[in-house]
Structure 1
Amino acid sequence: MHLRFPARFLCLIPVFLSTPAFSAGPKIHTVALGAARRVSYTQPDATPEEKLDQTSTIKVRPLIIDGRQKEWTTGETHDITDRTFAIRRALRINDALPSDSAPRWIWQPGPWITVDRVTGHITALHLPNFDPLVSDAIWFRDYAAYCGTNTTTRGGNLYVVVAQLGARRPVVQKAIGRWPEPNHFIPVCQSAKWERLPLRVTIQPTGGQATTYDVVGTSSIIEEGDNDDSN
């Protein structure tokens, strides 16, 4: 038996079929750190004898987003919010001279990045006067405290720095000595020590005197983007 439909119903059929039953939801991103491994590490300003010593190591881990490795990292993560964390990059640098016949790859601790667990977005942090060979950033909330450096043709300084994410200027930036210094201590400064109430931080140059700084009169808004599937 053949069924006949009025023409007005037939013209509606393709329109009905072309309409999706539901719209696609937001893309879900996966963020993870892979297994750690130890690699040899040598300070770039080490003596030739020290560069021959391969006993110094650092621990590196891959940062994996959506199943693909995006960065090498070193050290521990710091949760800034429930969705954003900070971690330090690990860089693999070619240390070969122009006269060398093959690359000479070395590992170095690099700058800090933040990672958004929701969007998978990575943001490079430009911490003021941060020196990857000197600075050991110690985090509290969205503050990072460390010793930093700057150098000019007339010489430079060693600084105490407290930086806050989203702020245009450092909360604390105070010169505590000249830089570079021959035969300097390693590490140059001891790890910063934070106190919650009142909010303050203590930093001590290795072999020098500790100084405490109050962190007051500043506020910052951490911008965390909406979830999207552009990554």
Structure 2
Amino acid sequence: MFERRNIQCMLGVLGVVLTLEPFAFGAPRKVHAVALGTPKKVAYSKTGDPAGALPGEEALKIRPLVIDGAVKEWTTGEAHDVTERSFVVRRALRVNDELPGEKLGTTGAHWVWQRGPWLLVDRTAGHVTALKLPDYDPGVSQVVWFRDYGAYCGITASGKSLYAVVAQLALRKPVLAKRLGKFDPESRGNPEPACGVTEWQRDPLRVLFRPAGREPAAFDVLPGSAMLVEDSDEQSAASPAAGKSED
């Protein structure tokens, strides 16, 4: 009789444990499938993208950003892995070019492609965040990434000054902002970009800018730890990042 009661008691405790197990350990985390799809070329021109297109550019190579089997964004250019779970890539925008009251006969003729802002993609959480880089200009700023730093030539809000900028993800203010000289808005139509390709150096941490018509300028960057916070699904849902696109 005593052994029978012990067995019944043990079975009761086991039943309680099995009942409470989902609450104790939580629901299993959803695994997201994130990938960049096959690239394709679309019609592109200075007329459709006055700020971003180069003179004579006629095609733009784009790729879909696919999350859990659905196309969330269109992207262009190469992606850069920031961490094992997060990467940045530039967005491609399809913009309505139809004037008020205008009805174009050709299907799709009123849609144009433009180079857009940079996106931060979290593979684990399946989240996409539009980055707001300081003094970023889509027609001038050619971002070169290293670790979680982005280096580029930026334009001030007045549009009159060209700056050497180094931005770090998750920080609002740039870690480097040095004036390179005046900026002529009329130069946007020139075949030569306002700045050449920026170069990074690891040790010591240094970045070299090549503004057009000026001597190259090198600046040391004070090295620091990455500031990017990669939240779980639950944390991200509780405190969504500013500028996050729909997912």
Which residue, out of 8, 29, 33, partners 1:30? 33
Match of 1:225 in 2: 231
Alignment partner of 2:44 out of 19, 29, 41: 41
User: Which residue does 2:8 correspond to in 1?
Assistant: none
Asked whether the 8 Å contact 2:205–2:223 carries over to 1, the reply is no
* Cα separation, 1, equivalents of 2:50 and 2:125: 39
Instruction: Let me know the Cα RMSD of the aligned residues.
Output: 2.8
The alignment of Structure 1 onto Structure 2 pairs a total of residues equal to 211
Per-residue CA deviation, residues 120-154 of structure 1 (Å, 9 max, x unaligned), is 011111000111111110000000000111243xx
Percent identical pairs in the alignment equals 45
> Secondary structure in 2 aligned to 1:182?
helix
Name the aligned partner's letter for residue 80 of structure 1: V
TM-score when normalising by structure 1: 0.80
Instruction: Give the drift of 1:96.
Output: 2.7
Distance 2:135 2:224 in 1: 20
2:216 counterpart (210, 219, 222)? 210
- Give the 3 Å change call, closer, same or farther, for CA 216–156 of structure 1 in structure 2: same
Where is the helix percentage greater, Structure 1 or Structure 2? 2
Aligned ranges 1:189-200 → 2 under 5 Å: 189-200=195-206
Provide the rounded CA distance (Å) in 2 between the counterparts of 1:188 and 1:96: 30
1:127 and 2:138 aligned: no
Matched residue type, 2:79 = T
- For 2:173, which of 161, 169, 173 is the aligned residue? 169
- Measure how far apart 1:219 and its partner are: 4.2
Q: Residues 171 and 218 of structure 1 are in contact (CA less than 8 Å); yes or no, is this contact kept in structure 2?
A: no
Q: Which runs of 5+ in 2 are unaligned?
A: 1-11, 238-246
Q: Is the 8 A contact 2:141 2:153 kept in 1?
A: yes
1:179 alignment partner AA: F
Q: Is the 8 A contact 2:160 2:185 kept in 1?
A: no
- Normalised by the length of structure 2, the TM-score is 0.75
Query: Please, which runs of 5 or more residues in structure 1 have no aligned partner?
Result: 1-11
Kindly provide the amino acid, as one letter, of the partner of residue 29 in structure 2.
Answer: P
Per-residue displacement from partner, 1:159-210 (whole Å, max 9, x unpaired)? Answer: 1111011223111112223334314444221111000000000010133321
SS in 1 for 2:32: coil
Task: Give the Å deviation of 1:217.
Answer: 5.7
In structure 2, relative to structure 1, the CA distance for the partners of 1:85 and 1:157 (3 Å cut) is same
Paired with 2:110 and 2:183, the residues of 1 have a C-alpha distance of: 28
